[in-house]
Amino acid sequence: MQKSTIQFLLINCFLAIVLISCGSVTKNYTPKKLDKTSYTVPYFTDSKADYVYKTNISVYGNELSGIFIAKKINDTTHRVVFTTEFGNKLMDFEISETDFKVNSIVSELDRKILIHTLKEDFRLLLKKEYQIQEQFENESADIYKSADGKRDNYIFISKKDQKLEKIVHASKTKEKFTLLFNSENNIFAEKIQIIHQNIKLKIDLQQLKSE
């Protein structure tokens, strides 16, 4: 009897831990009344601008550096090119919300899983418009929840200066990857980080200032 009580308690404790750790992504956010139904991202939207960044990609302990270039080529599509510092093109994609085209990729990087991951990352990075279904807040930001297929995107707008500072791509229970933005003018993001929570992948983008 005593033994089974202990077992019961242990199972309960275990369940409790599992339930806590599997809690909703929004558990630390406070629900709030919806103040808008859509949000338009200010970055990567100017078709006249060349978005050029010095880039470091850290993947499972390996470092890869180069130049990240994005350009809006029509209403729906961005061209994304990654080159070495020397100028050699490593990959060249065309991305829209619905389409994805690989123009070229060096054979060393031609891996399905890598291309798929980068496609998801860049698509979110370049996404312009979000439909909002729910709203939350924490101490420093208003948080807008936007459905993305089976997953959700959480858009963090700082309370202090109304800048887009973070987008979290998450399943119902887990954060998958996060985009962090630093921007002076809320038009151009000088510094961007793409951090994956479930794989060891981090992409740092730092604006390449022309002299």
Partner 1 sequence: MKTKIALLILFISGSLFAQEQKMSAAEIAQFKEDVNVVAKKIKTLSTDFFQYKHLDFLSKDIETSGKMIFKEPALLQWQYKKPYNYSITFKNGKILINDEGKKSAVDIGNSKIFARINKLIVGSVSGNMFDDKEFTISYFKLKGQNLAKFIPKDATLKKYIKQIELTFDKEEATVVQVKLLESSEDYTRIVLKNKVINAKIDDSVFTN
Residue 169 Cβ, how far from partner 1 at the closest point, in Å? 26
The whole-angstrom separation of Cα 10 and Cα 90 is 53
Task: Please identify, using beta-carbon distances, which residue of 25 and 70 lies nearer to partner 1.
Answer: 70
> Taking CB under 8 A as the rule, does residue 76 contact partner 1?
no
Report whether 168 contacts 178 (CB < 8 A).
Answer: yes
Look up residue 36 and give its DSSP letter.
-
Put residue 44 in one of left, alpha, beta given phi > 0 → left and psi -120 to 50 → alpha: left
- Could you tell me which stretch among 17-25, 30-38, 100-108, 167-175 binds partner 1 (CB under 8 A)? 100-108
- Could you tell me which stretch among 21-29, 102-110, 121-129, 168-176 binds partner 1 (CB under 8 A)? 102-110
Task: Please identify, using beta-carbon distances, which residue of 105 and 164 lies nearer to partner 1.
Answer: 105
Task: Please identify, using beta-carbon distances, which residue of 79 and 191 lies nearer to partner 1.
Answer: 79
- Could you tell me which stretch among 7-15, 33-41, 104-112, 138-146 binds partner 1 (CB under 8 A)? 104-112
Length of the chain: 211
> Taking CB under 8 A as the rule, does residue 74 contact partner 1?
no
> Taking CB under 8 A as the rule, does residue 210 contact partner 1?
yes
Look up residue 43 and give its DSSP letter.
T
Q: What's the Cα-to-Cα distance from 118 to each of 38, 82, 123, 175, rounded to whole Å?
A: 25, 11, 8, 17
- Between residue 172 and residue 191, which ones bind partner 1 under the rule CB under 8 A? none
The whole-angstrom separation of Cα 53 and Cα 57 is 12
